[in-house]
C-alpha cells in the first residue's frame, strides 16, 4: 500500500536559456510505517521537493498521488483541506503560534478541523510519548528548543494526518537531541503507522531511516 | 475570535497602546461631536422648542429673522391659525436698572394668545400678566424673578416675571416679551409690528406677497448668522478625525500583520484556511475598535462630569451611537488592507531556509 507517490516530477523555474531545473525526473513512494530520509546539501532542491510533497507548489510535470488522490488536480481550497487532513508539517522555525499555550495550539486545530483529530486517549498517549504533558500551559517562548520541537511534532500529529513532513527537524540540536528526535520520528512511523518523510542534511539521522534518498542538483537517488 | 482574543491577551502592552491611541481619537471625536451639537443647540434651542416647520419673513432679510420687519398690513394678509405665531426677533442687550453691565440677548416678542407663549415652560416665576413683564432664559443666571431690567434702546423698565429653560437663539439667551415692545426695543418705526411668522404645522406657510418669503426649517437654520459656517467647520473636523482614525487603524493593523507574516505563513502551510485567518483579522479589528470606542466613551463620560457649565457641550445618545458606529465602520474598513495582505501570503516562504 502506498501513501504517497511522486511520479516523474520535474520542477523548473524561468524559461528559455534561464530555465533552471530544481527537480529532475524525481520519483519515489512511501508506505504507512516508513521513515524516509531525503538527504542533500543546500541548494540541492530539498525545499522545493518538500513544498511539492506538502501541496504548497505544483510540479511543472509529473504527478503526485496521495492516498489515491492526484494532488495536481486539486483547487487552492481543496489543497488547504488536503494539507489540514493529510499532512503534518514539522518545520525548522516558527513552528508554534507564539501567543497560544501548548494546549491552545491543539485547540486551534479543533477550531479549523472539527473531525478526525486525535481523541482524548490517543492525545494523552502522544503527549506522554513526547514528554510534553507538563508543558500544556506554557507559551512557546517558555520552552527550550527541544521541547518546542516535540510540541511541534505533537501539533503535527494532532490532526491525525497520514503523512508527516519534517523540514530539518534536527537543525541546531546537539547530538543527544538528534538521537531523541530520530527515535521519535522512527516511533511515529512504526508505532503510529504514519508515512514520515524527513528532508535534512543531517547524516546523524541515517541510522533511524527505513529508506534513504540523496538529492543532488535536483536528482533523487535511493541509497537504502 | 479564538486567535484574536488570545493574541490580544498575550500582547497586552502592544494592543493596550493601540487601543489607547484609537480610544483617544474616539474620545476627541465624541467631544467634538458633542461640542458641535452643543453649539448647534445654542443656535436652535428656541427654534426647536417652537417645533418650527416653516417661517415667513421679509424677503430682504435673506432668511435672517433678526433682520426682518413686517408691517401690520403685511401680517394681516397672511393666513394665521393655532399652529402659527407672530414673532418679533432682535439681537439686543439687557441690564439691571441702575447698573452698567450689559448682557447680549435675543429679544423675542410674542403674543400671549398664540402657541409659543402658551407652550412656554417655566422653571421659576409666572407667565407675564402685564405688557412690561418678560420671561428670561435660565442661562441669564445673574438675573432673578422680580428683577427690574432695561432692554435695548427702550427706556421702559421691565420686570422679570419668570425663567424658562432651553431658551437660546443664535448663540444668545432669549428674553421673551410682549410683541408690542419689540419695535421700541429694536428702535424702529412703530409701523413695523413683527419680524415674521413661525408655523409648527407640517403644511408649509404660503404667501402671495412678493415682498415676503417662506423658508422651511432647514433653510431657516442655515440662514442663522454663523450657523452654517460653524456647522460645516465641525462636520469637517469630525470627518477628518474619522478619516485619521481609519488611517491609524489601517497602519497599526498593517504593521501587526507584516510582523506576523512568518507565523501566518506557517499556519497556511499547516492547512489553516485563508478564510479563517482573514476572519481572525476582521475579528481582531472588531475587538480593538469596540474596546477603543468603549475607552473613548468612558473618557468622554468622565470629562463630561468635570466639564464646566460654560462649555457648550450637549451629549445626545443617538448622536453618540451614530458617531461610535461611524468610527467602528471606518475601523473595520481599515482591516481590508491587512486582510488582503493575508490572502497574498505564500506559505512556501517558510519551507527551507
Residues in A touching B271 (Cβ below 8 Å): 80-85, 87, 112-113, 159
Quick check: B1 contacting A, CB < 8 Å?
Answer: no
Quick check: A172 contacting B, CB < 8 Å?
Answer: no
Burial of B191 (0-12, 13-18, 19+ CB in 10 A): exposed
Nearest 5°: the CA angle B206, B211, B216 is 40
- Higher-pLDDT residue of A209 and A91 is A209
pLDDT at residue A93, rounded to an integer: 64
Min Cα–Cα distance to chain A from B270, Å: 6
Question: 3-state class of B263 per DSSP?
Answer: helix
Q: In this predicted model, what pLDDT tens digit does every residue of A52-89 receive, in sequence order?
A: 888 888 899 998 888 888 888 888 888 888 888 888 88
Domains in chain A, number? 1
Quick check: B350 contacting A, CB < 8 Å?
Answer: yes
pLDDT at residue B283, rounded to an integer: 92
pLDDT at residue A57, rounded to an integer: 86
Find the DSSP H helices in B187-273.
217-222, 227-269
pLDDT at residue A35, rounded to an integer: 94
Quick check: A51 contacting B, CB < 8 Å?
Answer: yes
Out of A56, A84, A156, closest to residue B348 by CB = A56
Q: In this predicted model, what pLDDT tens digit does every residue of A4-54 receive, in sequence order?
A: 888 999 999 888 888 888 899 999 899 999 999 999 888 888 888 988 888
Size of interface A-B (CB pairs under 8 A): 85
Q: How far is CA A114 from CA A6, A45, A78, B11, B277, in A?
A: 30, 35, 16, 28, 16
CA dihedral of residues B159, B162, B167, B172 (deg, nearest 10): 30
Residues in A touching B11 (Cβ below 8 Å): 99
Residue of B nearest to A105 (CA): B3
Report the CATH number at residue A133: 3.40.50.300
Out of B263, B270, B353, closest to residue A89 by CB = B270
Where do we find the cell 401690520?
B72
pLDDT at residue A129, rounded to an integer: 81
Q: In this predicted model, what pLDDT tens digit does every residue of A104-158 receive, in sequence order?
A: 999 999 998 888 888 898 899 888 888 899 999 999 999 988 888 889 888 988 9
Residues in A touching B353 (Cβ below 8 Å): 47, 92-93
DSSP 8-state symbol, B205: P
A146 closest CA partner among A99, A178, A113, A100: A178
pLDDT at residue A137, rounded to an integer: 95
Q: In this predicted model, what pLDDT tens digit does every residue of A173-184 receive, in sequence order?
A: 778 878 888 888
Q: Residue A109 sits in which domain range?
A: 4-222
Residues in A touching B10 (Cβ below 8 Å): 98-100, 139
Query: Per-residue pLDDT for chain B (353 aa), expressed as one digit of tens each?
Result: 899 999 999 999 999 999 999 999 999 999 998 988 888 888 899 999 999 999 999 999 999 999 999 999 998 888 888 999 999 999 999 998 767 789 999 999 999 999 999 999 999 999 999 999 999 999 998 999 999 999 988 889 999 999 999 899 998 999 999 999 999 999 999 899 999 999 998 888 888 888 999 999 999 999 998 889 988 998 898 888 888 888 988 998 899 889 888 888 888 888 888 899 999 999 999 999 999 999 999 999 999 888 887 788 888 889 889 999 999 999 899 899 999 999 988 888 766 54
- Whether A84 sits inside 8 A of B262 (CB atoms) is no
- Whether A84 sits inside 8 A of B2 (CB atoms) is no
- Whether A47 sits inside 8 A of B353 (CB atoms) is yes
Amino acid at each position: 500500500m502506498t501513501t504517497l507517490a511522486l511520479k516523474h516530477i520535474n520542477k523548473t523555474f524561468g524559461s528559455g536559456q534561464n530555465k533552471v531545473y530544481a527537480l529532475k525526473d524525481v520519483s519515489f513512494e512511501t508506505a504507512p510505517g516508513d521513515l524516509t530520509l531525503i538527504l542533500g546539501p543546500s541548494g540541492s532542491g530539498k525545499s522545493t521537493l518538500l513544498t511539492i510533497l506538502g501541496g504548497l507548489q505544483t510540479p511543472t510535470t509529473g504527478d503526485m498521488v496521495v492516498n489515491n488522490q492526484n494532488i495536481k488536480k486539486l483547487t487552492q481550497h481543496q489543497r488547504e483541506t488536503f494539507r489540514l487532513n493529510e499532512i503534518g508539517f514539522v518545520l525548522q522555525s516558527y513552528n508554534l503560534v507564539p501567543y497560544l499555550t501548548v494546549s491552545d495550539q491543539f485547540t486551534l486545530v479543533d477550531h479549523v478541523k472539527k473531525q478526525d483529530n486525535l481523541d482524548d486517549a490517543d492525545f494523552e498517549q502522544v503527549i506522554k510519548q513526547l514528554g510534553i504533558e507538563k508543558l500544556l500551559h506554557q507559551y512557546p517562548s517558555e520552552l527550550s528548543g527541544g521541547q518546542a520541537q516535540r510540541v511541534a511534532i505533537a501539533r503535527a500529529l494532532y490532526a491525525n494526518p497520514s503523512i508527516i513532513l519534517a523540514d530539518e527537524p534536527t537543525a541546531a540540536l546537539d547530538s543527544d537531541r538528534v538521537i531523541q528526535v530520530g527515535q521519535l520520528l522512527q516511533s511515529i512511523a512504526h508505532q503510529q503507522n504514519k508515512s514520515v518523510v524527513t528532508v535534512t542534511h543531517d547524516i546523524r539521522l541515517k541510522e533511524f531511516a527505513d529508506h534513504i534518498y540523496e538529492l543532488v542538483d535536483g536528482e533523487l537517488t535511493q541509497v537504502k | 475570535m479564538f486567535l484574536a482574543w488570545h493574541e490580544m491577551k498575550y500582547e497586552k502592552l502592544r494592543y493596550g497602546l493601540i487601543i489607547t491611541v484609537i480610544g483617544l481619537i474616539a474620545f476627541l471625536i465624541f467631544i467634538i461631536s458633542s461640542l458641535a451639537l452643543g453649539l448647534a443647540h445654542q443656535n436652535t434651542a428656541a427654534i426647536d422648542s417652537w417645533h418650527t416647520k416653516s417661517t415667513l419673513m421679509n424677503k430682504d432679510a435673506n432668511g435672517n429673522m433678526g433682520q426682518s420687519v413686517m408691517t401690520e398690513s403685511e401680517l394681516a394678509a397672511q393666513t394665521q391659525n393655532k399652529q402659527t405665531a407672530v414673532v418679533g426677533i432682535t439681537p439686543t442687550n439687557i441690564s439691571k436698572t441702575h447698573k452698567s453691565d450689559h448682557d447680549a440677548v435675543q429679544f423675542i416678542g410674542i403674543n400671549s394668545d398664540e402657541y409659543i407663549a402658551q407652550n412656554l415652560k417655566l422653571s421659576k416665576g409666572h407667565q407675564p400678566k402685564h405688557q412690561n413683564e418678560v420671561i428670561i432664559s435660565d442661562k441669564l443666571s445673574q438675573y432673578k424673578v422680580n428683577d427690574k431690567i432695561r432692554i435695548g434702546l427702550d427706556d421702559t423698565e421691565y420686570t422679570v416675571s419668570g425663567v424658562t429653560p432651553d431658551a437660546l437663539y443664535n448663540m444668545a439667551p432669549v428674553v421673551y416679551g410682549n410683541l408690542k415692545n419689540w419695535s421700541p426695543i429694536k428702535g424702529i418705526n412703530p409701523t413695523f409690528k413683527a419680524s415674521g411668522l413661525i408655523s409648527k404645522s407640517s403644511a408649509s406657510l404660503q404667501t402671495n406677497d412678493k415682498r415676503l418669503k417662506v423658508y422651511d426649517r432647514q433653510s431657516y437654520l442655515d440662514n442663522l448668522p454663523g450657523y452654517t459656517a460653524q456647522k460645516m467647520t465641525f462636520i469637517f473636523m469630525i470627518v477628518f478625525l474619522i478619516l485619521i482614525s481609519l488611517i491609524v487603524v489601517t497602519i497599526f493593523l498593517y504593521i501587526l500583520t507584516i510582523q506576523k507574516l512568518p507565523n501566518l505563513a506557517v499556519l497556511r502551510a499547516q492547512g489553516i484556511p485563508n478564510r479563517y485567518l482573514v476572519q481572525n483579522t476582521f475579528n481582531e479589528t472588531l475587538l480593538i475598535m469596540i474596546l477603543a470606542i468603549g475607552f473613548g466613551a468612558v473618557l468622554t463620560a468622565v470629562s463630561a462630569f468635570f466639564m464646566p457649565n460654560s462649555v457648550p457641550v450637549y451629549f445626545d445618545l443617538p448622536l453618540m451611537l451614530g458617531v461610535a458606529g461611524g468610527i467602528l465602520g471606518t475601523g473595520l474598513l481599515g482591516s481590508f488592507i491587512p486582510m488582503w495582505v493575508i490572502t497574498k501570503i505564500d506559505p512556501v516562504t517558510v519551507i527551507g531556509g
